[in-house]
Structure 1
Amino acid sequence: MPTFIIIYFVMIGININPIIPQWSLVLIQSLLMIILGISGVHHVISLKTNEVKKELFVVAAKTLGASKRHILLQHILPALRGNLLIMLVSEAILVLHLIGQLGIFNLFFGGTALQFVPPIYLSITHEWSGLIGQARGFMYHSHWIILFPLIAYVLFLFCLYLISAGLNDVQKSKTRKASLL
């Protein structure tokens, strides 16, 4: 089941005209995204860790009697550092996509204020996805209202994508430089 659907149905009741403070709503949304996203991250990290554990330098350290803590801190974490950084940027992109999807459906990060006459959903925190979501009704007659937050949001996502691609290239070049025995 997509993460968006779970978060949408959990947050729909407490996000619109919230009675709890804004900081606690942000905390709830953040924790919900972390809890739902941690399983995929855990799976990828465990696969990468198992690959590193099979490397000769880790096997040699075990043979020489190194403790599990030493192997983790001195061998596994340095080998995974590049992959963890790439994963961090990729997960940031996914979280921004998720916040954008929720913004399109009037669930803004930090809370949604609903005005009843006329019925308008307003972002309490005025973040980019909230501004895009609340201005989508102006798409046909006042393009400039939605244009600038949309450009900023897409540009930010594009910059994060370029950072991720650059980190991938650096990581691939590091693994190619490893000498063959």
Structure 2
Amino acid sequence: MSHSIIRSRRFWFGVSYFIGLVIISYLFTWFGKDLYSNTQLLLKNEDGDVIQAAPFNPLIMPPFGSDRSGYNLFFQLIIGAKFTILFVLGICLIQILIGTLLGGALAYTSSKLQSFVQKVFKPYFFIPTVLWGIMWMAPLMLESQQTGLSMSIIGKQFFILCIVTLPPVIIYISQEINLFMKNEYIISSVLLGASKFYLFRRHIWLYLKEILVILFLQQFVQLFTLLIHLAFFEILIGGRRMSSDLKVFSLTNEWSSLIGLNKNELLMAPWLVLAPLLFFTISIFVLHLMIQGIKEQYNTRFISNDKKKSGERSSFEAKYQKMKVDKSSFARMNLNSIYREKDN
């Protein structure tokens, strides 16, 4: 799978996209404070008369307009990119790591225990993940209004989202391993005495590498969607603060928080919601490109291996057919004389 990733241009395009966004976000945070901290509430003409108040549309303040507080929406999205991408990236890494360990351990247990675990988690799957997130993360929003931006709150949110999204990953990986274990050559290895560790190291892990990268990117997409759903209930990553006039602000400018805080502006100032949605849409599209690129490279490698094997088989058959075998190639032997020689 490593060779498939290296050769996939779509994959590296996606990696460059996300790394570039994070780097630009940090550069703006460190050196562009004058750009994103300035506000403009009123727009005046040459005579000094007020002609429009914030929020300004994208034509007046390109490229994405401003919010009601006069902050440039584009700079807010750039500042929040690092929180959005790195937060989701960390959760996905933990999911894949713990999911592989627990899923692999579950796959090696008895079928009765696996069936019991699946029955225990089955009711969990019928409850939307967003409801679990709301239930556990809502109290943190009240805490953030008192303490401000805190790594403690971000850590708690990180832990909660890891827990609520982990069970499906564990079950999926265990089922994939069980399905793979039904292959004939795996059954033959078991009958020949192969240990569980040997099977995992030489066979199962090679198979899992083919799906874990794709699963990682798919979880990235699902977490983006989950953050958007949570934001509509004002569950914001990093917390929120409330001004003296009871306006709610995000502490991190994370993309989904900008959607949730401006959802009521959809009719009056739709760009406040559409701009962060555009960033999410582009990012999800890039993730799908990465997945397709990896799958295409894997399929290409699989087909080329099949062609190579078929070519070797056909060359062997051609050589075999060229061999001329007739009666003169054999000598008639008497079995009795052979046995007599052995006795002597």
TM-score band, normalised by the shorter chain? 0.7 to 0.9
Match of 1:69 among 170, 191, 197: 197
Letter in 2 for 1:29: Q
Once the two structures are TM-superposed, the CA of residue 115 in structure 1 deviates from its matched residue by 3.0
- What SS does the corresponding residue of 1:16 show, helix, strand or coil? helix
| AA of the residue aligned to 1:160 | L
Separation in 1, partners of 2:291, 2:250: 29
Asked whether the 8 Å contact 1:106–1:121 carries over to 2, the reply is: no
Structure 1 partner of 2:132:
6
User: Is residue 2:273 matched to residue 1:153?
Assistant: no
Aligned mates of 2:259, 2:143 — CA distance in 1:
19
Q: Deviations over 1:144-178 (max 9, x none)?
A: 43333221121112211232344445555666665
- Unpaired segments of 5 or more residues in structure 1? none
CA distance in 2, matches of 1:138, 1:172: 46
Q: Distance in 1 between matches of 2:247 and 2:300?
A: 51
2:226 pairs with 1:84: no
Output one character per residue of 1:96-147: Cα deviation in whole Å (capped at 9) or x when no partner. Answer: 1111111122111111223351x32211111111122222333333344333
Q: Secondary structure at the match of 1:113?
A: strand
Q: What is the distance in 1 between the residues matched to 2:175 and 2:297?
A: 21
Deviations 1:26-64 (CA, angstroms, capped at 9, x unpaired): 221222122122211111111110111122332333334
Rounded Cα–Cα distance in structure 2 between residues aligned with 1:116 and 1:3: 34
Distance in structure 1 (CA, Å) of the matches to 2:264 and 2:143: 20
Deviates more, 1:10-19 or 1:81-90: 10-19
TM-score (norm 1): 0.84
3-state DSSP of counterpart to 2:252: coil
Q: Which of 44, 69, 76 lines up with 2:172 in the alignment?
A: 44
Q: How big is the shift at 1:70?
A: 1.7
Say whether 1:131 aligns with 2:258.
yes
Deviation at 1:22, TM superposition (A): 2.2
Is 1:33 paired with 2:161?
Answer: yes
What is the percent sequence identity of the aligned residues? 23
Q: Identify the residue that residue 227 of structure 2 maps to in structure 1.
A: 99
- Choose the corresponding residue for 2:188, options 53, 57, 60: 60
Residues 113, 121 of structure 1: 8 Å contact kept: yes
| CA distance in 1 between partners of 2:232 and 2:291 (Å) | 25
Q: Matched residues in 2 for 1:120 and 1:171: separation?
A: 51
- 1:108 is aligned to 236
Structure of higher CA gyration radius = 2
* RMSD, matched Cα: 2.6
| Residue identity matched to 1:159 | V
Letter of the 1:121 partner, please give it.
Answer: V
SS in 2 for 1:69: helix
Q: Secondary structure at the match of 1:83?
A: helix
